Amino acid sequence: MRVTLLGTGDTTGTPTVGCDCDTCTAARDRGVERTRFSVHVENERVDESLLIDFSPDFRYQFLRDDVSLPDAAVITHVHFDHLDGLGNVFRVLDSLEVYAADETDPQTGKSVAETVDDDYHYLDPLTVVPTTPLEPVSVCGLEVTLVPVDHPPLVCYGLRVEDPVTGAALSITGDTSYDIPEASREVLADPDLLLADGIVPADLCEYHPIGGRHEDDAGVPRTFGTKHMTREGALAMAEVLNADRTRLVHLAHYYPADEAFAEPLAVDGEEYVL
Ligand SMILES: [Zn+2]
Ligand SMILES: [Zn+2]
Ligand SMILES: [Zn+2]
């Protein structure tokens, strides 16, 4: 499978609109960017593509990276930066299956699948497929398994995408704290490529109103606030999951400029063949 990182930024992206911080300036100078989150997975065996999350930057990303339009999609959760590009399919795609979790979110009273169905009821090409977490489904010739992660107050899911023919595996943590349930870690384990949420370096937790959580033995927070892993948390999770290769994603412009483009922090347009 061919994996293209269409969007590697957090909800404001880098550069952020109206921002002239050192990191946004450095991104402009280098000609790199981190648009809102989305990952394109092409199964070359069957010539079909799966899109993970619908970034508000969908149109720009597909023009920029010249990838094939999706045959199916997964929505991990209902935050703006992962869902609100879905309206772009209007007059672009004739049909699209959208896989989303079927568990009711106590916060909204609806599952992710139901929210997608309700919010985009007017989009005729869509067929929402309610999907049970931890049970693999076959999509685009690939085996896709949603796994519950921890992104309060909403339900949110990571996923594993595995090619049943070659055994190649991509794991994505989704937006999550370090507190990924054990059953989910088991599904995400041993990937060829891990994309892990590492929104900021751990030392920025001092600027979060509630600080950091899930400290390691040295007292370094692996979670920023409640919703996302720190860089250190994401790297620790990569160790736990025994990933062959790791790229950090969902990155904020709050990374200091001299750390923001260091390995293994991803930028848009990276491509991996697994
Ligand atoms: Zn900035
Ligand atoms: Zn989110
Ligand atoms: Zn997000």
CA of 166 to the centre of ligand 2 (A): 31
CA of 166 to the centre of ligand 3 (A): 30
Which of the 8 DSSP states describes residue 103? S
Q: Quote the percentage of the chain above a pLDDT of 70.
A: 100
d(CA 98, CA 95): 10
Q: Which helix (H) or strand (E) holds 27?
A: helix 22-30
CA of 95 to the centre of ligand 1 (A): 38
- Separation of first and last alpha carbons in the chain: 5
Ligand with an atom nearest the CA of residue 227: 2
Phi, psi for residue 171 in degrees, rounded to 5 = -120, 140
Q: How confident is the model at residue 183 (pLDDT cuts 50, 70, 90)?
A: very high
d(CA 74, CA 71): 11
Q: How confident is the model at residue 5 (pLDDT cuts 50, 70, 90)?
A: very high
CB atoms within 10 A of CB 167: 9
Ligand with an atom nearest the CA of residue 14: 1
Report yes or no: 98 and 72 within 8 Å, Cβ to Cβ: yes
CA of 130 to the centre of ligand 1 (A): 38
Q: Is the dihedral of CA 239, 243, 158, 160 positive or negative?
A: negative
> Which residues make beta-bridge pairs with 157?
148
Q: How confident is the model at residue 154 (pLDDT cuts 50, 70, 90)?
A: very high
| pLDDT score, position 252 | 98
Ligand with an atom nearest the CA of residue 253: 1
Does the model's pTM come out above 0.95?
yes
CA of 253 to the centre of ligand 1 (A): 5
| pLDDT score, position 159 | 98
Q: What is the pLDDT of residues 209-258, one digit of tens each?
A: 999 999 999 999 999 999 999 999 999 999 999 999 999 999 999 999 99
Ligand with an atom nearest the CA of residue 255: 1
Ligand with an atom nearest the CA of residue 17: 1
Report yes or no: 4 and 239 within 8 Å, Cβ to Cβ: no
Q: Which residue has the tokens 């869509």?
A: 126
CB atoms within 10 A of CB 62: 20
| pLDDT score, position 74 | 98
Which residues, 6+ apart, have CB-to-CB distance to 128 below 8 Å?
A: 98, 100, 113, 116, 117
Half-sphere exposure of 261 (CA within 13 A, CB side): 18
Q: Which helix (H) or strand (E) holds 131?
A: strand 126-131
CA of 67 to the centre of ligand 2 (A): 25
Q: Is the dihedral of CA 12, 151, 170, 133 positive or negative?
A: negative
Ligand with an atom nearest the CA of residue 36: 3
CA of 112 to the centre of ligand 2 (A): 12
What are the strands of the beta sheet with 142-148, ordered from one edge?
137-139, 142-148, 157-162, 169-172, 193-197, 246-249
